A and B are shown apart, each in its own frame.
Chain A
Amino acid sequence: MAQQVAFAQIPDVVKRFIVHFHQAVLDNNLAEITVAYESGWNRLTEKFYAKTEWPEAEVIAPLVNDDQIFLILYRELYYRHVYSRLQPDIDDRFHSYENSCELFNYLLNSDGPVQLELPEQWLWDIIDEFIYQYQSFCVWRSKVKSKTDEELILLADANQVWSSYSVLNVLYSLIQKSKINEHLVALQEGKSAEEIAEIVGEYGVKPLYRMLGYFSIIGLLRVHSLLGDFTLALKVMENVELNQRSPFTRVTACHVTTYYYVGFCYIMLRRYPDAIRAFVSILNFILRMRQYHTRSYQYDQINKTADRMYALFAICNALSPMRSDDNISNIVKERYGEQFAKMSRGEEGIPAFEELFVYACPKFISANPPPYEDPEQLAAHMEDPPVEPVQRHLALFLSEVRAQAPVPTLRSFLKLYASLDAKKLANFLDADEEEMVQQMMVMKQASRSVSRVENEKGLLDGQMISTSDLDFVINENMVHIAESTVGRRYAGWFIRNTEHAQRVFDTLRNSSLPAPPPKSTAQSAPANGANESATPAPRTGGQRVAWGGVKVA
């Protein structure tokens, strides 16, 4: 009865949408599914469900002939909406887990590969949301104090729900089923499409499995990072080549996530040059695609991640001062100039490191729940709650920062001399000579880093490189200093101005004659007329146009 009432309350336009959406899924019509998924759903959410849940799957079941597969997909969207717009309660959390299990069970344990097809963006969102809900559950679960009695009882019984093992199991199963690693290796070896089809088998040839496999690798990168296993996070990426030309980078959100976690892991591995390279590459990508994507529903999320990467870039650059991309450095100066200045001053900059790290780090989780099943231990746990994961990782990071805290001061003195006596330097610094000499060794080590130099296989590989323009050596008690200077750089200036001139020329050429009264703003909104017509109206992973086209040339 209640269901019929609920059914009657669904606006007709929503009913029509669901019927249409269902038909598109039945037909495997990717274009229609994309429209429903990316615009229809969001539009109706704004209109009818901005502050409440969508109708429950059981209620709309009659509209879709009780199609269980569609209902699983529908619930996927239903719960995602609850997590992003509303407050999920414990039932939502448990049920969204069950629904994810059903979905993956259907994909992995049906009789052979399933015939379903979904847009790449949705496939990415499925994996992304699965991990987000896991992480969200772990954080929620770790807060014992706020639990009601009923929640305590449910949690005591439910140690498998959102367990780390179950999440990893899904991701590894998708990777194995799709043979995505074999696929990536075959691509690198230049194998033909037929050979690859042979290698990856009946699952891997299907775009659905192939993409889920690839996204699961990125998912593992993320899960391992959240759990504090930064080496394993990079190790699972062994066969992924970080570049923007791979056929697997069409989903922008996935691309951005990949670089964020890779960069962060490099920071925790103390490989700052590698981290900087990752951030520069993706931040430039985001800057370039911005003009095409301002209305995408993910735009906000990407922008937030980008801002955190600017903060991480500032951290890396303070710890390993080196010249890098002007564009990115300038934006960092605008946003985090104050913190950057503090971080470049050693010990007194520690609070600035702390501030940026806590803001920009992943939302770390503990692998294990509080002891809900044991009331006695739970009481002890509440009495003396463990340090939060983020604080543990912060402390470890700060210990690395502290170790090289004397470096900026030493650097600023050494810059002034070609050689000087160690005793004299110690006097300037008001320090003990022996201590100062030891700090010099720290400085030397801080100016070297393991880094990928070129084409190393795997993200963990790398060689020792020098990262500093200032080098020195101690001959018994005499410090000799050498500085590498960078010759004046012209290219950026000429490139920027050439591009500007091209835009001005285009604008002039495209304007009709006789020229209308000149507008002063006309130049800053260049006529990309030629490109615009090439951009398809519904966004179907359209950044290919933004960036791929330029890069291929």
Chain B
Amino acid sequence: MPSLASKWASPPTRTPLIENLVSGVDRYNPSNVSILEDYLYHQTRSEEYDCLANLAILKLYQFNPDLYNPDVVIYILIKALTSAPFPDFNLCISLLDERPAATNPDEPDPLPTLLPILTSLYNLLQQCRFPAFWALYRSDEAETLRDNYTVECVGFENAVREVVIRAVKAAFTRIGSERLGAYLDLSGGDLTAYVESLGWSIDPATEVIAVPPNPDNHIESTVVQENIQLPQLSKIITHATQNARGAL
């Protein structure tokens, strides 16, 4: 079974064409940028995600500033926001070299205004401050982001909820429905339906939700015993055999 990180580094949905671009030297060819950009747009419509392919776009932008397309960058960052437990968002930012302010006044670059909001949203998710995340996301400040961008990313809000569920599953065995509702930005029937879709159960009397056991929310005290590896002793054994030879 492919490991968590191998699915991240090469998602099963990646086509051979894209794989060739991600892993080969064709990734540096500026004329391939549109293939990768189309693939990104496909990701926004299909709830698929391919971090390395998107980084390849940013790499082309880094080397060829003329190719820069702010909308593409914003979509890449939105997709990267919800890629827990991987730090994709910062990996993407890391490739955004400083660029001169937009040269064309007719088409203002939306990235400089949206980047601080996206960064704040990312930090709130990192800090598990989920209610604050939703508050900022739903605020007037983020209106452009919602109306022009996240609306185009199919399943964005559910992707955020998956990040929440990851964190909750690891830390809780039982959680109050009010608290979980605030994390998920869901209440009433929506919350019940969502929780049921996860296969979790709500106690109707106490409104407490039981989180099924998993390796992260199952804890146990253990004593770790020392495990001595042969290589640790190799110096001593070598010395002993050399000496034995020397003695003969």
Stretch in A50-58, A150-158, A226-234, A253-261 touching the partner: A226-234
CA distance A386 to B98 in the complex (A): 6
Q: Tell me whether B173 and A462 are in contact (CB under 8 A).
A: no
Interface residues as binary, B230-245 with A (CB distance below 8 Å gives 1, 0 otherwise): 0111111111111100
Kindly provide the distance from the CB of A549 to the nearest chain B CB, expressed in whole angstroms.
8
CA distance A197 to B84 in the complex (A): 44
Q: Tell me whether B173 and A475 are in contact (CB under 8 A).
A: yes
Q: Of B95, B127, B226, B234, which contacts A487 at CB under 8 A?
A: B226
CA distance A498 to B21 in the complex (A): 55
Q: Tell me whether B226 and A490 are in contact (CB under 8 A).
A: yes
Kindly provide the distance from the CB of A244 to the nearest chain B CB, expressed in whole angstroms.
11
Interface size class of A (residues with CB under 8 A): 35 or more
Q: Tell me whether B100 and A230 are in contact (CB under 8 A).
A: no
Q: Is B130 an interface residue (CB 8 A)?
A: yes
Kindly provide the distance from the CB of B55 to the nearest chain A CB, expressed in whole angstroms.
6
CA distance A353 to B222 in the complex (A): 32
CA distance A444 to B167 in the complex (A): 8
Q: Tell me whether B175 and A476 are in contact (CB under 8 A).
A: yes
Q: Tell me whether B98 and A473 are in contact (CB under 8 A).
A: no
Interface residues as binary, B173-185 with A (CB distance below 8 Å gives 1, 0 otherwise): 1111001000000
Given A484-B224, A495-B232, A396:B94 Cβ within 8 A: yes
Q: Tell me whether B221 and A550 are in contact (CB under 8 A).
A: no
Kindly provide the distance from the CB of A232 to the nearest chain B CB, expressed in whole angstroms.
7
Q: Which residue of B lies closest to A366 (CB)?
A: B97
Q: Tell me whether A232 and B59 are in contact (CB under 8 A).
A: yes
Q: Tell me whether A403 and B219 are in contact (CB under 8 A).
A: no
Q: Is A442 an interface residue (CB 8 A)?
A: yes
Kindly provide the distance from the CB of A222 to the nearest chain B CB, expressed in whole angstroms.
16
Q: Tell me whether B52 and A400 are in contact (CB under 8 A).
A: no
Q: Tell me whether A485 and B98 are in contact (CB under 8 A).
A: no
Most buried by A among B62, B94, B232: B94
A403-456 residues with Cβ-Cβ distance < 8 A to B are 403, 434-435, 437-442, 444-445, 448, 450, 456
Q: CB-CB < 8 A to B216: which residues of A?
A: 444, 448, 466
Q: Of B23, B127, B221, which contacts A235 at CB under 8 A?
A: B23
Give the dominant DSSP class at B's interface.
helix
Q: Tell me whether A472 and B5 are in contact (CB under 8 A).
A: no
Q: Tell me whether A403 and B126 are in contact (CB under 8 A).
A: yes
Kindly provide the distance from the CB of B131 to the nearest chain A CB, expressed in whole angstroms.
8
Q: Tell me whether A403 and B234 are in contact (CB under 8 A).
A: no
B101-132 residues with Cβ-Cβ distance < 8 A to A are 101, 119, 123, 126-131
Q: Is A461 an interface residue (CB 8 A)?
A: yes
Q: Tell me whether B9 and A366 are in contact (CB under 8 A).
A: no
Kindly provide the distance from the CB of A14 to the nearest chain B CB, expressed in whole angstroms.
43
Q: CB-CB < 8 A to B130: which residues of A?
A: 438
Q: Is B194 an interface residue (CB 8 A)?
A: no
Q: Tell me whether A445 and B167 are in contact (CB under 8 A).
A: yes
Q: CB-CB < 8 A to B223: which residues of A?
A: 484-487
Q: Tell me whether B232 and A553 are in contact (CB under 8 A).
A: no
Stretch in B12-20, B31-39, B85-93 touching the partner: B85-93
Q: Tell me whether B226 and A400 are in contact (CB under 8 A).
A: no
A451-477 residues with Cβ-Cβ distance < 8 A to B are 456, 458, 460-464, 466, 471-477
Q: CB-CB < 8 A to A88: which residues of B?
A: none
CA distance A227 to B91 in the complex (A): 11
CA distance A162 to B95 in the complex (A): 19
Q: Tell me whether B100 and A380 are in contact (CB under 8 A).
A: yes
Given A164-B63, A484-B221, A400:B90 Cβ within 8 A: yes
Q: CB-CB < 8 A to B228: which residues of A?
A: 491
Q: Of B87, B174, B217, which contacts A270 at CB under 8 A?
A: B87
Q: Tell me whether B85 and A473 are in contact (CB under 8 A).
A: no
CA distance A141 to B84 in the complex (A): 38
Q: Which residue of A lies closest to B23 (CB)?
A: A235
Q: CB-CB < 8 A to B218: which residues of A?
A: 473
Q: Tell me whether B123 and A399 are in contact (CB under 8 A).
A: yes
Q: Tell me whether A235 and B234 are in contact (CB under 8 A).
A: no
Q: Tell me whether A464 and B217 are in contact (CB under 8 A).
A: no
A351-396 residues with Cβ-Cβ distance < 8 A to B are 366-368, 371, 377, 380-381, 386-387, 389, 392-393, 396
Q: Is B28 an interface residue (CB 8 A)?
A: yes
Q: Tell me whether B3 and A228 are in contact (CB under 8 A).
A: no
Q: Is B172 an interface residue (CB 8 A)?
A: yes
CA distance A393 to B95 in the complex (A): 10
Q: Of B62, B91, B128, B242, which contacts A231 at CB under 8 A?
A: B91
Q: Tell me whether A228 and B95 are in contact (CB under 8 A).
A: yes
Q: Tell me whether A367 and B100 are in contact (CB under 8 A).
A: no
Q: Is A489 an interface residue (CB 8 A)?
A: yes
Q: Tell me whether B85 and A448 are in contact (CB under 8 A).
A: yes
Q: Tell me whether B65 and A368 are in contact (CB under 8 A).
A: yes
Q: Of A235, A380, A441, A502, which contacts B52 at CB under 8 A?
A: A235
Given A371-B100, A438-B128, A464:B222 Cβ within 8 A: no
Q: Tell me whether B173 and A491 are in contact (CB under 8 A).
A: no
Q: CB-CB < 8 A to A442: which residues of B?
A: 126-128
Kindly provide the distance from the CB of A442 to the nearest chain B CB, expressed in whole angstroms.
5
Q: Tell me whether A231 and B97 are in contact (CB under 8 A).
A: no
Q: Of B87, B167, B220, B231, which contacts A551 at CB under 8 A?
A: B231
Q: Tell me whether A381 and B100 are in contact (CB under 8 A).
A: yes
Most buried by A among B65, B208, B219, B243: B219
Kindly provide the distance from the CB of B68 to the nearest chain A CB, expressed in whole angstroms.
11
List 6 interface pairs A-B (beta carbons < 8 Å), by A numbering. A228-B94, A403-B123, A472-B219, A473-B172, A481-B219, A482-B219
Besides the known contacts A366-B97, A486-B223, 18 further A-B residue pairs in the complex with CB atoms under 8 A apart: A229-B62, A229-B95, A231-B9, A235-B9, A269-B87, A368-B97, A380-B101, A392-B93, A396-B93, A399-B123, A441-B128, A450-B4, A461-B6, A471-B219, A484-B224, A495-B233, A502-B236, A553-B234
8 tightest A-B contacts by CB?
Answer: A386-B98, A403-B126, A441-B128, A462-B5, A482-B219, A228-B94, A460-B9, A553-B238
